[in-house]
Amino acid sequence: MSNIQPSPAKKAIGLLPNLIFMSRWLQLPLYLGLILAQCVYVFHFWVELTDLIGAVFGNAASLDHILDVVTIDGAVRPTKLTEATIMLVVLGLIDVVMISNLLIMVIVGGYETFVSRMNLESHPDQPEWLSHVNASVLKVKLAMAIIGISSIHLLKTFINANAYDVKTLLAQTGIHITFLLSALAIAWCDRIMTATQNQANGEH
């Protein structure tokens, strides 16, 4: 006689639990809104890049726009493209790219974690981090992306350090260090939780 036991029948989900579970789809408009925000950043990136190229080739309107963008309150407005001016524009473009990367992580990782599986296992372009994404991994990834964005802003501030007072410089540095410490704390807590979970699984 076979010792195989029949698998227990799956219990039907009640009306209220099913309604609560289906409420996760309310997040879908939020992720679609972030996709629209991504489109805005793409347009902004293209405008800044075309103006930078136009300024290099002598377009007066593009040059005025670039100089207005890099000039901060309290600083002398430059009259031509310099290495520092170009660096500030490029840092702004990198900032846009990093924020765009942050949006992608939130959209793809958040949808995969909190809404529905996208079944990208066989897709050749599946992000490496998405194969083991969960809420903890997503928090660490987002923290690292925020640190990168903060680093760009801090570098832009240091380039124009003569236009800021000491309090502003110290405040921005302190905020950046706070981001670093927060990321380390998140990663440390995630490591402890992972080790505890592995230990519990080993005992079973």
pLDDT in tens, 32-68: 999 999 999 999 999 999 999 999 998 889 888 888 8
Output phi, psi for 76, to 5 deg: -75, 130
Percent of the chain whose predicted confidence (pLDDT) is above 70: 85
Read off the pLDDT of each residue in 143-164 and give the average, rounded to a whole number.
85
CA–CA gap between residue 20 and residue 14 (Å, rounded): 10
The more confidently predicted of residues 18 and 190 is: 18
The more confidently predicted of residues 137 and 61 is: 61
- Residues 6 or more apart whose CB falls under 8 angstroms from that of 105 comprise 129, 138, 141, 142, 145
pLDDT mean across residues, the chain = 83
Read off the pLDDT of each residue in 101-123 and give the average, rounded to a whole number.
83
Read off the pLDDT of each residue in 1-15 and give the average, rounded to a whole number.
62
pLDDT at 202: 66
pLDDT at 1 over 60: no
pLDDT at 110: 86
pLDDT in tens, 77-97: 777 888 888 888 899 899 999
pLDDT at 32: 95
Q: What is the secondary structure of the chain as a DSSP string?
A: ---PPPPPPPPPPPHHHHHHHHGGGGGHHHHHHHHHHHHHHHHHHHHHHHHHHHHHTT-HHHHHHHHHHH--TTSPPPSS--HHHHHHHHHHHHHHHHHHHHHHIIIIIHHHHHT-----TT-TT--GGGGG--HHHHHHHHHHHHHHHHHHHHHHHHHTGGGS-HHHHHHHHHHHHHHHHHHHHHHHHHHHHHHHHHHHHHH-
